[in-house]
């Protein structure tokens, strides 16, 4: 709209800038925008606001005389590459100081973007208030300055409420500030798209890729994602609140310059079989699963799980639906066909949702050499992605090679069977056969440990002995490959089952310092921290895992229950199992809803889960003695948290002796969530008993020790927290 001239004031002898309108823009609306820019700048006196000297009219041409700035726009600076954490936060704090001054004067900028943030040697200056909104003119003035349906602002930095045409407020500028801070750190916009409409769709429905790096980056990522929340009531209420969180995050930064990086989100879809073949059809899932496992070792990549990918098996995916449902930037698709003793696999790496083909490869190998096929496919994908690999990551990609093709085939077949609970024992037998042939293949030991654990928890009466077999398998896997993430993550859950939640928590925190883009690791922290009673830390770990993978399987519903946040447990968007959901409904006094669900529970659940559901139903129906009897199959569950649920249930049903026995076992065997025990109303009938007081003292002592361990391991830095409890 305008032209800016460098000029000099001959009376005062100072340099200044003269802003005028282009001839083509000298219409009443443009003149009014320039006038309101002058009024806004004149109304706010702050070092971060470009100073206005005069507004005038020369021969019918309106102009502004303003402070002449020496430096460059933030857009120019970002164009040379991403900024370090300290640089970005310093600029952000200056920008937010100016925004806060505007807000205190009742002004919403509405068009914050890097080109309107100017960097000088003395600090940040905010520019261009032509569409700024003041409280008194929301309806009248802006109706004249904009056309119906016109978007006010620049697409990449517009908040969802601007897109919907709603009146902007301070939180609208907070959103734009969050987008700018993200772009400074990542060197790219948080919302991608080839057209303005694609960008606006991403703002409305997509989450930005997570920023990873040092602990300070993780803390900043949490702050930025809150600033970019879709609902404005979930954002920081004001610019100064965002600034304070940034200062806290910067306290976690080391003295060396820290760079952030945006992770790439990828999904490997099951292969489509072009011609069915009973001997090789299992590879459609298994090869994709093996590639997923290999790529998961890379820190600049977040790879969606094979479970998520399995929903798209056997079909040509709608890439827009895939991008929305799986929340990914890239997808690997492929086909498979057998010709004699050869297997030919063709893969494509696609951008989502655009569908642009980034590369295409065809690999052929003998049916008897499946590892060579998988290794070649993985190598080609890594090359196509052009990912910067550390020496450790290169080693991980190539370290675990099975000694024979037969051993690898058994491993892949077992992976396929392990997806079905009815086939767990058959999968275990195949893993064991694989290891009989190659006892040095670490992934098979890790998989064997995982299947031992789930069998012990849900299928075997003598669970403790099977848990010991699982631990032996995990330890062997980690002896062979100390960096095997699949073994580390699964072993953490086993350690918790065995009463060593504090050890598991400490180890996962240590691993998170170098594996900050592994959602499954943070899901494990959700579990371990809750058992230790560190509920704030558990929730923070879930938020980090959720930012990495919105569909990550994590036990956050139990954390919410232990926090007493029953409304969130029963919220439609929360994935709750029937027992925990109905228990929360009962705590909210919504017994009729709980009973309706419990009466519909069918026989697809394990006997233990059916016992939990049946006993809760009977309790809510007022049949206390029958409820206690029905809960009997759950009394021997090997999970300490499960035993705590048994105890609180028995306490409410009136079996105080049984409740004390169950809760004591839970605490002594590793579930010492003292904050939950202290607030749980269903334990009120036990609180006057000395036995319960003694149990609580033991739980609180272990809880305090866990806090010390958490802080010593720098869990506060990893999760960007203060106190973890």
Q: What is the mean pLDDT of residues 429-455?
A: 92
| Beta carbons of 473 and 452 less than 8 angstroms apart | yes
DSSP output for 682-720: GGGGGTT-HHHHHHHHHHHHHHHHHHHHHHHTTHHHHHT
Which residue, 542, 515, 483, 551, is CA-closest to 301? 515
Q: What is the mean pLDDT of residues 15-37?
A: 71
Residues of the chain with CATH 1.10.510.10: 71-135+147-262
Instruction: Supply 649's token pair.
Output: 């249930």
Architecture of domain 2-67: 2-Layer Sandwich (3.30)
Instruction: Supply 552's token pair.
Output: 């990550």
| Beta carbons of 150 and 110 less than 8 angstroms apart | no
Q: What is the pLDDT of residue 603?
A: 60
Q: Which of the residue ranges 398-407, 577-586, 589-598, 700-709 would you say has the lowest mean pLDDT?
A: 398-407
Q: CA angle 386-391-394, nearest 5°?
A: 60
C-alpha torsion 289→293→299→302, nearest 10: 20
The pTM score is 0.77
Q: What is the mean pLDDT of residues 439-450?
A: 92
Percentage of the chain lying above the pLDDT 70 cut: 89
Q: What is the mean pLDDT of residues 393-422?
A: 79
Q: Which of the residue ranges 141-145, 297-301, 313-317, 620-624 would you say has the lowest mean pLDDT?
A: 141-145
Q: Does an H or E element contain 362, and which?
A: strand 357-366
SS3 category, 348:
strand
Burial class (CB in 10 A: 0-12, 13-18, 19+), 163: middle
Q: What is the pLDDT of residue 584?
A: 94
Class of domain 71-135+147-262: mainly alpha
From the options 1.20.1630, 1.10.3470, 1.25.40, 1.10.4160, give the CATH code of 556-719: 1.25.40
199-213, 304-318, 395-409, 642-656: which is most confident: 642-656
Instruction: State pLDDT tens for residues 501-530.
Output: 999 999 999 988 878 888 889 999 999 999
Q: From its phi and psi, is residue 353 left (phi > 0), alpha (psi between -120 and 50) or beta? A: alpha
Q: Within 10 Å of residue 349's Cβ, how many Cβ atoms?
A: 21
Q: What is the pLDDT of residue 328?
A: 85
> What confidence tier does 142 reach under pLDDT thresholds 50, 70, 90?
very low
Which residues have C-beta within 8 Å of that of residue 2, sequence separation ≥ 6? 19, 20, 21, 22, 25, 34
Q: What is the mean pLDDT of residues 651-670?
A: 95
**C-alpha to C-alpha distance for 449 and 473, rounded to whole angstroms:** 5
User: Between 405 and 168, whose confidence is greater?
Assistant: 168
709 has pLDDT over 80: yes
**C-alpha to C-alpha distance for 268 and 271, rounded to whole angstroms:** 9
> What confidence tier does 42 reach under pLDDT thresholds 50, 70, 90?
confident
**C-alpha to C-alpha distance for 331 and 357, rounded to whole angstroms:** 10
Burial class (CB in 10 A: 0-12, 13-18, 19+), 691: middle
Which residues have C-beta within 8 Å of that of residue 371, sequence separation ≥ 6? 401, 402, 405, 408
Instruction: State pLDDT tens for residues 71-91.
Output: 999 999 999 998 988 899 999
Q: Does an H or E element contain 486, and which?
A: helix 485-497
Query: b/e for 488-506, b at 16 or more Cβ within 10 A?
Result: bbbbbbbbbbbbbbbbbbb
Q: What is the pLDDT of residue 148?
A: 43
User: What are the phi and psi torsion angles at 78 (to 5°)?
Assistant: -65, -30
Place of tokens 């590793």: 670
| Beta carbons of 49 and 41 less than 8 angstroms apart | yes
C-alpha torsion 396→397→398→404, nearest 10: 110
Q: Which of the residue ranges 13-22, 81-90, 532-541, 578-587 would you say has the lowest mean pLDDT?
A: 13-22
136 has pLDDT over 70: no
Instruction: Supply 231's token pair.
Output: 């609902």
Percentage of the chain lying above the pLDDT 90 cut: 40
> What confidence tier does 22 reach under pLDDT thresholds 50, 70, 90?
low
> What confidence tier does 146 reach under pLDDT thresholds 50, 70, 90?
very low
Helix count and strand count (H, E) for the chain: 33, 17
User: Between 709 and 167, whose confidence is greater?
Assistant: 709
75 CA to centre of own chain: 28
Q: Does an H or E element contain 636, and which?
A: none
The number of residues in the chain equals 725
Q: CA angle 315-299-87, nearest 5°?
A: 125
Q: What is the mean pLDDT of residues 347-358?
A: 85
Q: Which of the residue ranges 10-14, 400-404, 405-409 would you say has the lowest mean pLDDT?
A: 400-404
Instruction: Supply 386's token pair.
Output: 């052009």
> What confidence tier does 605 reach under pLDDT thresholds 50, 70, 90?
low
Which residue, 317, 345, 346, 315, is CA-closest to 331? 317
Q: What is the pLDDT of residue 212?
A: 80
SS3 category, 253:
coil
Place of tokens 């021997």: 636
Residues of the chain with CATH 1.25.40: 556-719
User: What are the phi and psi torsion angles at 19 (to 5°)?
Assistant: -105, 125
User: What are the phi and psi torsion angles at 574 (to 5°)?
Assistant: -90, 130
Strand partners, 268: 332
Strand partners, 428: none
Q: What is the pLDDT of residue 475?
A: 94
Instruction: State pLDDT tens for residues 222-262.
Output: 899 999 999 999 999 999 999 999 988 877 666 556 677 77
| Beta carbons of 597 and 581 less than 8 angstroms apart | yes
Q: What is the pLDDT of residue 257?
A: 64
SS3 breakdown of the chain: % helix, strand, coil, rounded to 5? Answer: 55, 10, 30
User: What are the phi and psi torsion angles at 301 (to 5°)?
Assistant: -130, 135
- pLDDT, mean over the chain: 85
109-118, 597-606, 677-686: which is most confident: 677-686
SS3 category, 311:
coil
User: Between 648 and 1, whose confidence is greater?
Assistant: 648
Q: What is the pLDDT of residue 637?
A: 79
Instruction: State pLDDT tens for residues 207-232.
Output: 888 888 777 788 888 899 999 999 99
205 has pLDDT over 70: yes
Burial class (CB in 10 A: 0-12, 13-18, 19+), 473: buried
Q: Which of the residue ranges 138-142, 179-183, 403-407, 649-653 would you say has the lowest mean pLDDT?
A: 138-142
Strands 264-268 and 301-303: parallel
> What confidence tier does 147 reach under pLDDT thresholds 50, 70, 90?
very low
Residues of the chain with CATH 3.30.200.20: 2-67
674 has pLDDT over 90: yes
């Amino acid at each position: 709209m305008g032209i800016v001239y460098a000029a000099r004031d001959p009376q005062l002898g100072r340099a200044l800038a003269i802003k005028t309108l282009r001839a083509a823009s000298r219409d009443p609306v443009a003149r009014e925008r320039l006038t309101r820019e002058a009024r806004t700048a004149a109304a706010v006196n702050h070092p971060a606001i470009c100073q206005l000297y005069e507004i005038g009219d020369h021969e019918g041409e309106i102009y502004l005389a303003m402070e002449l700035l020496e430096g460059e726009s933030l857009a120019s600076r970002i164009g040379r590459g991403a900024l370090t954490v300290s640089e970005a936060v310093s600029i952000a704090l200056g920008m937010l100081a100016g925004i806060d001054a505007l807000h205190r004067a009742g002004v919403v900028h509405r068009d914050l973007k890097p080109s309107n943030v100017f960097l000088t040697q003395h600090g940040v200056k905010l520019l261009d208030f032509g569409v700024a909104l003041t409280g008194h003119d929301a309806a009248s003035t802006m109706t004249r300055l904009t056309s119906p349906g016109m978007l006010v602002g620049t697409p990449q930095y517009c908040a969802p409420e601007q897109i919907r045409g709603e009146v902007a407020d301070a939180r609208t500028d907070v959103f734009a500030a969050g987008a700018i801070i993200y772009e400074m750190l990542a060197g790219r916009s948080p919302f991608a798209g080839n057209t303005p409409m694609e960008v606006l769709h991403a703002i409305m429905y997509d989450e930005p890729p997570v920023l990873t790096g040092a602990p300070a980056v993780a803390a900043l990522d949490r702050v930025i994602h809150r600033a970019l929340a879709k609902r404005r009531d979930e954002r920081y209420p004001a610019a100064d609140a965002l600034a304070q969180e940034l200062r806290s995050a910067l306290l976690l930064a080391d003295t060396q310059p820290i760079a952030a990086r945006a992770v790439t989100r990828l999904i490997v879809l099951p292969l489509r079989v072009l011609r069915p073949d009973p001997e090789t059809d299992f590879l459609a899932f298994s090869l994709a699963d093996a590639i997923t496992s290999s790529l998961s070792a890379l820190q600049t990549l977040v790879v969606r799980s094979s479970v998520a990918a399995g929903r798209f098996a056997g079909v040509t995916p709608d890439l827009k639906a895939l991008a929305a449902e799986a929340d990914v930037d890239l997808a690997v698709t492929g086909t498979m066909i057998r010709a004699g003793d050869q297997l030919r696999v063709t893969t494509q790496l696609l951008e989502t949702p655009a569908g642009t083909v980034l590369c295409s490869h065809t690999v052929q190998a003998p049916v008897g050499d499946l590892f060579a096929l998988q290794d070649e496919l993985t190598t080609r994908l890594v090359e196509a992605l052009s990912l910067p690999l550390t020496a450790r990551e290169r080693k991980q990609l190539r370290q675990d090679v099975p000694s024979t093709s037969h051993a690898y085939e058994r491993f892949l077949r077992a992976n396929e069977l392990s997806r079905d609970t009815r086939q767990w024992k058959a999968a275990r037998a195949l893993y064991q056969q694989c290891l009989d042939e190659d006892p040095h293949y670490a992934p098979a030991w890790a998989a064997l440990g995982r299947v031992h654990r789930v069998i012990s928890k849900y299928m075997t009466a003598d669970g403790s002995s099977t848990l010991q077999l699982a631990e032996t398998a995990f330890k062997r896997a980690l002896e062979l490959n100390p960096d095997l993430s699949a073994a580390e993550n699964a072993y953490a859950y086993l350690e918790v089952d065995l009463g060593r939640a504090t050890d598991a928590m400490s180890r996962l925190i240590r691993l998170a310092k170098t594996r900050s883009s592994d959602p499954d690791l943070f899901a494990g922290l959700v579990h371990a921290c809750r058992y230790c009673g560190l509920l704030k830390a558990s929730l923070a770990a879930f938020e980090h895992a959720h930012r990495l993978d919105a569909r990550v399987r994590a036990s956050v519903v139990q954390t919410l229950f232990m926090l007493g946040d029953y409304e969130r447990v029963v919220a439609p968007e929360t994935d709750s199992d029937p027992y925990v959901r109905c228990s929360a409904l009962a705590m909210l006094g919504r017994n009729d809803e709980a009973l309706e669900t419990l009466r519909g529970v069918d026989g697809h659940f394990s006997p233990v889960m059916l016992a939990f559901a049946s006993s809760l139903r009977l309790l809510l129906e007022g049949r206390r003695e029958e409820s206690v009897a029905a809960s009997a199959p759950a009394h021997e569950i090997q999970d300490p948290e499960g035993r705590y649920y048994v105890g609180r249930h028995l306490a409410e049903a009136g079996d105080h002796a049984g409740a004390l026995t169950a809760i004591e076992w839970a605490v002594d065997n590793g579930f010492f969530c003292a904050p939950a025990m202290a607030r749980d109303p269903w334990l009120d009938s036990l609180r006057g008993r000395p036995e319960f007081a003694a149990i609580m003292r033991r739980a609180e002592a272990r809880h305090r020790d866990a806090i010390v361990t958490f802080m010593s391991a720098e869990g506060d830095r990893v999760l960007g927290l203060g106190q973890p409890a």
